[in-house]
Amino acid sequence: MSSSWTTEIEVTVPAPRLFKAAILDWHNLAPKVSSGKVVSAAPVEGNGGVGSIRQFNFASGGPFTLIKERLDFLDVEKCEAKSTLVEGGGLGTYVESASTHIKVEPKAGGSVVKVTGTYKPLPGVNVAEETEKAKAAFGGVIKACEAYLVANPDACN
């Protein structure tokens, strides 16, 4: 049985700029803005379009050492993307499958990031606990991007 969760995160950065930082360029920014957690990140397949795969390597002590995600849908104009976990990130340990849908919408004074995660938990996994971890992780990514963009007004324009 699949489960899903949603969260909304308000930021003070315009939607296109946040989308570029948090989605399109996150593999470059993550090691800079989340250096305590993300050791390195890079594309491993494709050119950044649909079907491309990126890998994020995490510092020791975290719940997992890496995540590989495949971009399944991308609409830059509408600031919307969907991706699927293809390796790491609890795949095979906590979940059988996982995907996310992210849409960044303009809002007065900034934007709102709407995230929906869909996953199939493995038997015995505490769904509520894993959901809260996932929401916190996405919130951390978005807030790290926001802080970076506010501190660097010329970045990701």
C-beta separation of 17 from 156 below 8 A: yes
Condensed to tens digits (0 to 9), the pLDDT of residues 19-77 reads 999 999 999 999 998 878 899 999 999 999 999 999 999 998 888 899 999 999 999 99
Q: Which fold has domain 3-151?
A: Alpha-D-Glucose-1,6-Bisphosphate; Chain A, domain 4 (3.30.530)
Domain extent listing, the chain? 3-151
Q: What totals of helices (H) and strands (E) does the chain contain, helices first?
A: 3, 7
Which phi and psi angles does 2 have, rounded to 5°? -85, 150
Q: What percent of the chain has pLDDT over 70?
A: 100
Identify the pLDDT of residue 127.
85
Confidence of residue 6 (pLDDT cuts 50, 70, 90): very high
Identify the pLDDT of residue 135.
92
Condensed to tens digits (0 to 9), the pLDDT of residues 100-138 reads 999 999 999 999 999 999 999 999 988 888 889 889 989
Identify the pLDDT of residue 61.
85
Q: Which residue has the tokens 């916190």?
A: 136
Radius of gyration of the chain from Cα atoms? 15
Q: For the purposes of burial, counting CB atoms within 10 Å of the CB of 49, is it exposed (0-12), middle (13-18) or buried (19 or more)? A: exposed
93: pLDDT strictly greater than 80 = yes
